Structure 1
Amino acid sequence: MTHWFTADLHFGDEGILRYFGRPFRSITEMNNAIIDAIATRLKDGDDLWVLGDVADTSSGGEELARTLIERLPGRKHLIRGNHDDAAITSLPWTSHHDLTEITDGSERFVLCHYPLLSWNGARQGAIQLFGHVHDRWPGSDRQVNVGVDLWDFAPANAADIVIRAAGQKSLNIADQIEGVG
């Protein structure tokens, strides 16, 4: 069993193509590319953690979102984002949270749609995973943006994330504010 992480899928969201310059000719092409990238990596026993902003559910998009989510293999977990309404949270998720912590092997992750200033275990090596900012900020040595815009529209596993985190600049924010109060 492998944990996979992604964020900011925005299935069915026409505006996202223009606003973030995603390299697809149509929303259908984008939806299928993301689904295919996930499906080629995940096995049925794997866990997919979607850190928010799953789909645009306006104008009948609820059924599209359901159809696309059901096409994905594995157990699907939602970390709610700012675009995830009741139609999204009612999809067949194994779990859904605003923030949660998981362990994958020796790695500890704190999952939230938003980048945080501090998080549980930051000074003990826990890595915070987030989305929300698309390609605007990749993170730091202890925070990794798992949004599709920075991962070639595919999910990342723990090993990929640890490598990326090690190559990013240290901000030391958690060191500066942990233990205060």
Structure 2
Amino acid sequence: MKYWLTTDTHLGHFNMIEYCGRPEDFSEIILKNLYQNIKPEDILIHLGDICMANDLVWNLKLLNVPGRHWLVRGNHDKKSNSWYLEHGWSMVCNQFQDRIFGKTIMFSHRPVAWNGEYDINIHGHSHNSDPNKQEKELITVRNGYQKLLALEYTNYMPVTLEKFIVGKA
């Protein structure tokens, strides 16, 4: 069993082509990469912002990817927790913390200020934007304990949690 990470898929949100320089067929690329990598025994941790519209359509496509699916809600995930659970997500939360591979990890959509209780905060939200031009409150929480996962830096591939932690992704 492997833990896989993805984030900010924004499936069907065509403004991402302009905002982040994504290819026109980015939704299909992301889904294809998920299908090709994730096995039925694996867990996919999605760090939020699944899509911008057509929630049912995009969630069903994403949930057809093998494995169990955990959602850490992002600012664009507007449905209720019960909606996501009723439509196939195994777990839904705003953030969670767990000890995996010898590290206490905080999983969140936006970076979380370090509180002394985790070793690393894996988050999404910021994409490939200039870190100095992001929301002011996000700039102030960064202190080396946060690690950004951005699909724009992974060639739209999911990454294993183990590789991401050791810095090989």
Residue 102 of structure 1 is matched in structure 2 by 98
Higher Rg:
1
Q: What is the CA–CA distance in structure 1 between the aligned matches of 2:4 and 2:39, rounded to whole Å?
A: 10
Shift of 1:120: 5.1
CA contact (8 A) 2:43 2:68 kept: yes
Question: What SS class does the counterpart of residue 8 from structure 1 fall into?
Answer: coil
Question: What SS class does the counterpart of residue 86 from structure 1 fall into?
Answer: coil
| TM-score, normalised by the number of residues in structure 2 | 0.81
CA contact (8 A) 1:146 1:156 kept: no
Which of these residues, 23, 27, 31, is aligned with residue 31 of structure 1? 27
Residue 155 of structure 1 is matched in structure 2 by 158
Q: Which runs of structure 2 are paired with 1:162-173 in the superposition (5 Å)?
A: 162-164=165-167
Shift of 1:141: 4.9
Q: Deviations over 1:130-161 (max 9, x none)?
A: 00111124x77532212212221111212321
Superposition RMSD in Å: 2.3
CA contact (8 A) 1:62 1:87 kept: no
Q: Which runs of structure 2 are paired with 1:16-165 in the superposition (5 Å)?
A: 16-22=16-22, 24-25=23-24, 29-57=25-53, 61-86=54-79, 89-90=83-84, 91-119=87-115, 121-122=117-118, 126-136=119-129, 137=131, 141-164=144-167
Q: What is the CA–CA distance in structure 2 between the aligned matches of 1:6 and 1:108, rounded to whole Å?
A: 19
Q: What is the count of residue pairs matched by the alignment? A: 155
Gaps of 5+ in 1: 168-181
| TM-score, normalised by the number of residues in structure 1 | 0.76
Q: What is the CA–CA distance in structure 1 between the aligned matches of 2:44 and 2:116, rounded to whole Å?
A: 22
Question: What SS class does the counterpart of residue 76 from structure 1 fall into?
Answer: strand
Instruction: Tell me, yes or no, if structure 1 residue 11 matches structure 2 residue 4.
Output: no
Q: What is the CA–CA distance in structure 2 between the aligned matches of 1:95 and 1:140, rounded to whole Å?
A: 29
Gaps of 5+ in 2: 132-141
Q: What is the CA–CA distance in structure 1 between the aligned matches of 2:164 and 2:145, rounded to whole Å?
A: 10
Question: What SS class does the counterpart of residue 128 from structure 2 fall into?
Answer: coil
Question: What SS class does the counterpart of residue 109 from structure 1 fall into?
Answer: strand
CA contact (8 A) 2:114 2:145 kept: no
Shift of 1:42: 1.1
Question: What SS class does the counterpart of residue 18 from structure 1 fall into?
Answer: helix
Instruction: Return structure 1 stretches of 4+ with deviation > 6 angstroms.
Output: none
